[in-house]
Each structure stands twice: as structure tokens, then as C-alpha cells.
Structure 1
């Protein structure tokens, strides 16, 4: 392949990325203070944070951005639905010097942004991992379970979402209440695009950031639930070894949605993290 051909291919790739970034994503902002951006998980939308935001909005200017293909951005899709595309599209809409907090799949995007965006004040992951699928010596989601979700999506996406919600809340003392409330909150938003549902599962199945997270220079906080079955607590020590610079907090009675089952406690942890960033800035 000649040099001119390579240049043309690269130019076409740059045009695709520029086109993706120019697609305007819908976001919502409430509150006052330093900027905090919340990114939701697979199959969800920003409605998942509706009951959590009041615990934050008196301290932060909270912005929620639906991931491409979900919620109010259901019609905004990249040409290729992968982690790099989501990262580029979200990056184009971030407030300057924000803390980015990502839940589950949103946590993968947050970690990717932390590697790319030097202006971020900090990064928080909520029940997230650099690699979600189990493998040799790595606890995680059974690959067969993701295959089941992919198969079920073809027949009944709502049933698939309901099952995923049930798994996320499993182990929480308030599981039934959490499932009911989060279902109500996300139904206030448009249904997700089929391409985003399939693409998101593909990211959860394929993404492996284990060799990269140690290079994250932004201050980092990782929040886990001890009873989480999707990001098992048995893998937390492994993540700490890969990213020793990050702070880690494990909520003993939470599962995969700690901000739903323990909103005040989760908010306080994020507030303390933000306060530590302010102290470093003053120093």
C-alpha cells in the first residue's frame, strides 16, 4: 500500500471522527459549584440518576449526558459503536475541568476519557471495571451470560433490560425497591437504539483496559459494592494492583448500583474526593 493511499485512508478516518464529534449530544445540567458529569450504564439512560442528583446538586453543577444511542441521544450514533467512538463523542461535550463519574459501562468510558483528557479534574467509577468479562485469573461476568443477553435482545429487549436490572440489584437489601425505582426513572426517557444495545454489549464483552489504567494520571476514585455480582469483590484487589494510584471504597451492603441503594453514602464519598482535589489545588 502506497504512502498516498495511507494518507487518504487516514484523512477519511479523521473525517469520520470529526463527523461523530460534531453530532450534538443532549445533556442536562442542574445545581451550582464545580462541574461533575455523570455517565450511565448499559441499557439505561440518565434517568437512572434522577433520585441521586439531589444529593449532589447543592455541591456540584451536575451534568448528565446520555451515551450515544441511549435516552435523549437515542438517534445519535457513531459510524462504529465502540469504546473509542463513545469516548470521542462524550469528550466533545465535557465542561472544562470537570470530574467525570461513570457507572458500569459509563465507567469504561470514564476511564478511557481519563487517559485522553488532560483537563479532567478527576475520575470516579461506580461499580465498574477495566474488564467486565471473566477470564483466566480474572473474576467478572460469565461470557455465556452476555451471549444470552445478545440472543434475547433479538426477541424482547424490554425483557432483557428487566433481567439485567434484576442482576444488578441482586444482593442489595433494597433490591425490589431499587429495581422498581430505576425502571420508573429510565422510562421517562426515549427507548434505546438497537444498535446501541448490541454495541454496548459488545464493548462490555470485548473491552480490556487492564494494561492501560495504570497510566491514568488524573486523580481517581473507584466505588464498589461488596455484593455486586457483575463486578465481583474478589476482583477488586486485582484492579488495585493495576491502578494503585486510585482511591478505593467498598460499600459492604451495596451491589451494582450503590448510588441507588446507598445514595447519601455514595454522595458523601464523591464529595470527600472532590474536597481532596480542592486541597491539592490550594497546596
Structure 2
């Protein structure tokens, strides 16, 4: 039975010690997708993984309305103090919302293969609206096949695409399947959420990490995003697609670690 309420309390999993680093997964996934990636941060940070409402360990808990605002409101109480929030794909939208509207909880922001707006239009590169519409139609018939197709698109272009899909699939399946309501609402968020007018107000140090081969967040839109948030650091990984932490975990971890360590050095100089 799915519990719908406004006071959502999410389960989270933490490990390690040091600077707080929080990971938020993408659509159709759960926090287990980071299982093989997190050891790259061993002995450096305290890591917290959070499953979004309706996914993984929180599959049976949903907010009364599945909006970006309510997702961020649900995640915020689970954030440790002074945390750097890392959001992948849809999780990047949540992370940006947290930085904007729960700024006191967020010391730094990292987006992995994410954007303030996922849908392509005349002046903005992104996912074709008919692709998202197709996924919504397929989802009603078969979640597993829809997820497989979505994973295939995410890995497209990566030299290790087949292995990337297999790894993600195996990790995600270690936790409960998501609720249908969360899957449908999550796709709706990918179609409708537009933070382009807002990200210029993000005050926290920000790292935006992209894969050059990503078909969901095309590199042709990176300059546009940078224009909207010029203070953000931008890194494009030349051989990665939509899941750089799966295909290139060492390189991705090094980029994130350097960003967080630089924040820590700035904090010490300012204290």
C-alpha cells in the first residue's frame, strides 16, 4: 500500500566520515545505482544516499502531490548539515530545487548529466517531447521493458554501453521496484519542470558535469546553461554518456572530489 501524505519522512543510508556528500538518483532508479561508485570516495567523505519518494527504500511513501517542490521538501529534512548535494539526471532537478529553496541545507551543488530543463524546443536542446510521450505510453504496459529502453538511451554512445546497462540494472534491482505513481509523475516532471529562469539565483558553489555523448542532455545546450548560471564550473567528459559515474567512475569521482576538497579549503580560509 502506498502512503500519500504531506509530511513525508524518507529513509536514507549514510556511511563514512568527513565532509557531507549526498547522492540523489534519476528517474526509474534508486539509490543502489551508486553502490559501485561510492567506494571511490572511501575515507574522504561521509556519504548519504537517498531514494526519492516512490522509489527504492521509499517506494511506499509518496507526497500528496508529486511536484518538484514537494520532492525537495521531502528530501530536505534528510540532508545532513552543510552537505554537498549530487543529483543525477532527474535527481539533478531535485538538487537544484534544494539549492534554491533549502539553501541553508546545501553547501554545494553537483549536477551529473542534468539540466534545468530536459525537453527540446525551438531554442533549447533536449529530449524530444515525443520520446517522453512514448515512454509514458509504454510505462502503462510494461515497466521492465520501458526501463530497459530508457537505460539503453542513457548508455547510447558509451564504449561500454552494454556493460553500463547491465551494471545499472543489477544495482537497481537490489531494492524494491518503484511505485507506478512515482514513475508516471517522474516522467511528467521531466516533461514540465523548467528552472531556466531560476538557476542564476543559485548562490552555492556549483559543478555541472556532463558526458559529451549524452543523448538526453545534449552538449549543444551546455553553453546555454552556462549563460544562465555563469558562476558554475562546467566539466564535459569526452567519452561519457548519460551515466558517467558508471562508465568512467574513477574520472567522475576525481572531478567531484576535487570540487568538494576545494570547497573545504575555501571554508577553512573563511572561518
Partner residue of 1:164? 150
- 1:15-54 map, 5 Å: 20-21=6-7, 23-54=8-39
Contact residue 104 and residue 125 of structure 1 kept, 8 A:
yes
Task: State the distance in 2 between where 1:191 and 1:79 align.
Answer: 20
Deviates more, 1:99-108 or 1:30-39: 30-39
Partner residue of 1:10? none
**1:82 correspondence with 2:67:** yes
Task: State the distance in 2 between where 1:54 and 1:137 align.
Answer: 40
Task: State the distance in 1 between where 2:268 and 2:42 align.
Answer: 23
Partner residue of 2:191? 205
**1:113 correspondence with 2:104:** no
The Cα of 1:169 is off from its aligned counterpart by: 0.4
The Cα of 1:117 is off from its aligned counterpart by: 2.0
**1:183 correspondence with 2:203:** no
**1:245 correspondence with 2:228:** no
**1:151 correspondence with 2:137:** yes
Partner residue of 2:206? 220
What TM-score results when the alignment is normalised by the length of structure 1?
Answer: 0.92
The Cα of 1:152 is off from its aligned counterpart by: 0.4
Task: State the distance in 1 between where 2:266 and 2:46 align.
Answer: 20
Task: State the distance in 2 between where 1:263 and 1:32 align.
Answer: 21
Task: State the distance in 1 between where 2:171 and 2:19 align.
Answer: 25
Superposed CA deviations along residues 143-180 of structure 1, whole A, max 9, x for unmatched, are 00000000001100110000000000001111000000
1:122 to 95, 108, 113: 108
Superposed CA deviations along residues 116-135 of structure 1, whole A, max 9, x for unmatched, are 12231100000000000001
Task: State the distance in 1 between where 2:36 and 2:6 align.
Answer: 31
Partner residue of 2:124? 138
Deviates more, 1:54-63 or 1:233-242: 54-63
1:233 to 215, 219, 224: 219
Contact residue 30 and residue 57 of structure 1 kept, 8 A:
no
The Cα of 1:26 is off from its aligned counterpart by: 1.0
Q: Secondary structure at the match of 1:133?
A: coil
Partner residue of 1:12? none
Partner residue of 1:14? none
RMSD across aligned C-alpha pairs, in angstroms? 1.1
**1:263 correspondence with 2:249:** yes
Contact residue 254 and residue 261 of structure 1 kept, 8 A:
yes
Superposed CA deviations along residues 58-87 of structure 1, whole A, max 9, x for unmatched, are 211100000000001000101111101101
Q: Which runs of 5+ in 2 are unaligned?
A: none
Query: In terms of Rg, which structure is larger?
Result: 1
Task: State the distance in 1 between where 2:83 and 2:112 align.
Answer: 16
Task: State the distance in 2 between where 1:266 and 1:72 align.
Answer: 26
Task: State the distance in 1 between where 2:134 and 2:199 align.
Answer: 29
Q: Secondary structure at the match of 2:63?
A: coil
1:95 to 61, 76, 80: 80
Superposed CA deviations along residues 154-209 of structure 1, whole A, max 9, x for unmatched, are 10011000000000000111100000011000000000000000000000000000
